[in-house]
Amino acid sequence: MTRVELHDVDELMDLLYACRGAWDTPDRSGDPVDLHEHALQTAALLRRSRPSDKELQLAGLVHDIGHLLRPGDDAGHADTAADAVRRLLGGRVARLVRLHVPAKRYLAMSDPLHGLSPQSARTLEAQGGPMTPHEAAAFAQDPLAEDAVTLRQADDAGKVVGLDAGILEDWRPVAELVAERVRHNSLERVHSASH
């Protein structure tokens, strides 16, 4: 299967708009909100808890686009989404997206009472089940582990039917800001390497 890579914010926004009426499971047996609502709710929760961390908020907005890009791939949806946004939104956003599944496995081991949605509980086994103590210790050493757990907690909470989490267009300036930073940093690295 070919890898999708987003090149500009318009492509990203189009993909996020396409999440309207798309679900985490092709037969709609999964979470109670579509991918569009889930993205908005997750991002809004992160904006509330970490108002200055635009990259974390965007990771919340895009973390499940892999379900749209490869329907039915519960085990690989985070990697698919991370690969799609890396070039546009940068390494930290992509890494947080990739880590939202390991963070679920970590929480399932370290906090068994952590509330997974019924669908998340079902997909946990396909994603490797709860981490072993050794895996959890290694995960906790990752510099982004705490942020990934914060993302995961917002992910688990962002599945409320009828909750008004704003509109997608409100996120365009945030995406443009982060994409511009990534572009600027990339140009700086190229410029530094040539001197």
pTM flag (> 0.85): yes
pLDDT above 70 covers a percentage of the chain that reads: 96
Q: What is the pLDDT of residues 180-195, one digit of tens each?
A: 999 998 887 776 776 6
* 167 close to 37: Cβ distance less than 8 angstroms: no
Q: What is the pLDDT of residues 160-175, one digit of tens each?
A: 999 999 999 999 999 9
Q: How far apart are CA 36 and CA 45, in angstroms?
A: 14
Residue 7 CB partners (closer than 8 Å, separation 6+) = 87, 88
The pLDDT, as a whole number, for residue 194 is: 67
Average pLDDT score over residue span 48-76? 95
CA of 120: how far to CAs of 117, 127, 178, 184, in Å?
A: 5, 10, 29, 37
**CA-based nearest residue to 92, from 185, 18, 4:** 185
Residue 73 above 70 pLDDT?
yes
Residue with tokens 């709609």: 28
Q: What is the pLDDT of residues 103-137, one digit of tens each?
A: 999 999 987 766 677 778 788 888 999 999 999 99
Q: What is the pLDDT of residues 84-106, one digit of tens each?
A: 999 999 999 999 999 999 999 99
The pLDDT, as a whole number, for residue 191 is: 64
pLDDT above 90 covers a percentage of the chain that reads: 73
